[in-house]
Structure 1
């Protein structure tokens, strides 16, 4: 299951004036977006046992009046946390990033949509784009917040551009682990309340767990009130 990145934009206004880009992406990667009520292949959601997965589009409209924003609001309001206690969001351009590479590129989307994810008590938000690894604490509006999502940048799978080596100094207080290395991550949801996240640093043929963290679902938190209607989002 995929969501688009900046390399998939492929907008050719002179040739395809009536289209919005993503010609190759939409042709080669048709996702089941209609099943989630979306009108675009660029954003959709689906369920995996115990988890509701939301794929957002960083390179299509996301303002409050956009179709994507309205769809996201409806999708979040329809989640039944007794069926899917975990809610995970994936997008391309990170909203939180202390690397000098692509700094601030996800900021406008964060300002538009972050409150929706916060009020819905999304558990984890994964992003790519920055070719390095970084894990933040639970955050809302640039501050540590026990009811906000954990933000993770996992754009270190390999690329022709090389690693994003330069992190800002000092490290911001909300950033808990960061490293400019190639690697991969694994989220293991063990039950309705607990999951374990591990980031594996890949050095040639070896895989080493360099960062590991237990997560507790916000659906089980007594301190973080879950929304009960769309009006609360």
Structure 2
């Protein structure tokens, strides 16, 4: 005698033959699975967040964020409304006790009728690895604390692009805050200020709780451009507020740079900076790739804003020109992973090169689903391309844990009813110990990247 489940959740007896019982159970499983899947409805855009009036003293630091600034150094950035505030950072490893002091630089900018506060950039260090530091900006105001990344693997990165300032942005930031990560990676489109400059200030306040505690490494997107023909060049606000270690990496522009942390070399490229073969960015990329030591940094990861591999109907083909010029360089250098934004959805490719799967190509991930006000890009090209492994139009964030020199674990966490639900994951094996390295030596020579 066998028992089958009733709709009420209670079991009843049955005398059905075993084969028919198996069929009934299969049907029940399929129906239940379909019902659970159907329960998930793609979220609609949420309203822009409202920010209360801030009545802090003009000399108090605001919009504090940190970024890596070369080996064992960190750049602390903040804004004050008082032009006389000093660009100093006091710091130490004991709360309230600051054994070290560093002085930096400051700048400001005007944009039509808007004038920014005083923007401070101060590099502190050398710092111990994997250590909590307590610091104070400008000699007054609250104490902040940061944690430096580890010197060796494992290391964890949080990844989210196209953030903006909506209710979904807040959900994404809340979920990232629950992740035990060491560095945040942002492939473009930060504040969605779009010429309205005070939105840069509200964005800085929104991300301060996270960005003041872990380094945020960012690159520019189209919403950072804010150019006005004959009046304003592009990226003035972005460059003034989010200074990255371009000088430390030999770049001439804040729009593209590189950095190393633990066992990974990161290259942040500019989708909106010149990238043809005669451009400064192209020459810098070749130089930077030629200096990568895969024994010291076995992982090679690239970020930029506009994806090269995209099966969403949104922004289709916009990255093709950059891909045509730069993909041969990344392929020859055995780049492991490419992270992009711009398309407001999630997509992960197989290892791919030149438009098709290639075991020696990079894994491309589009993660422009941080929560912006423009909503999701929900229309995909069908059938799904052979190189596309997983795609979904939902808000969310990614986590990359590089475990050792050969293996990393990637996971994507969908914002489902304000809870981070892991919806895609994969183990990625570095190309450093594969046969691809030796196979591509002739390509490196052809590109004049090795003698």
TM-score range, shorter chain: over 0.9
Shift of 1:59: 0.4
Whether 2:230 is the aligned partner of 1:14: answer yes
Extract structure 1 runs of 4+ deviating beyond 2 A. 222-233
**Larger relative contact order (CA 8 Å, sep ≥ 6):** 1
Superposed, 1:50-89 pairs within 5 Å as 50-89=263-302
Q: In structure 2, what is the Cα distance between the partners aligned to 1:3 and 1:200?
A: 22
Per-residue deviation, residues 137-156 of structure 1 (Å, max 9, x unmatched): 11110011111100000111
Q: Does 1:2 align with 2:255?
A: no
SS of residue matched to 1:36: coil
Q: 1:232 to 1:41 in 2, by over 3 A?
A: closer
- Give the secondary-structure state (helix, strand or coil) at the position aligned to 2:425: strand
Structure 2: state its 5+ residue gaps.
Answer: 1-216
Q: CA deviation at 1:93?
A: 0.3
Assess, with a 3 A threshold, how the Cα gap between structure 1 residues 172 and 138 changes in structure 2: closer, same or farther.
Answer: same
What per-residue deviation string (whole Å, max 9, x for no partner) do you get for residues 172-209 of structure 1?
Answer: 01000000011110000000000000011111221111
Residues 58-82 of structure 1 show CA distances to partners (whole Å, capped at 9, x for unaligned) of 0010000000000000000100000
- Which residue is equivalent to 1:27? 240
Q: Equivalent residues in 2 for 1:192-231 (5 A)?
A: 192-225=405-438, 227=441, 231=448
* Residues 311 and 384 in structure 2, CA contact (< 8 A), matched pair in contact too: yes
Deviation digits for residues 84-108 of structure 1 (CA, Å, limit 9, x no counterpart):
0000000000001000000011110
Change (3 A) 1:94 1:66: same
Matched position secondary structure for 1:113: helix
TM-score by length of 2: 0.50
Aligned-pair Cα RMSD in Å: 1.3
How many residues align? The count is: 230
Deviation at 1:232, TM superposition (A): 4.3
TM-score in terms of structure 1 length: 0.95
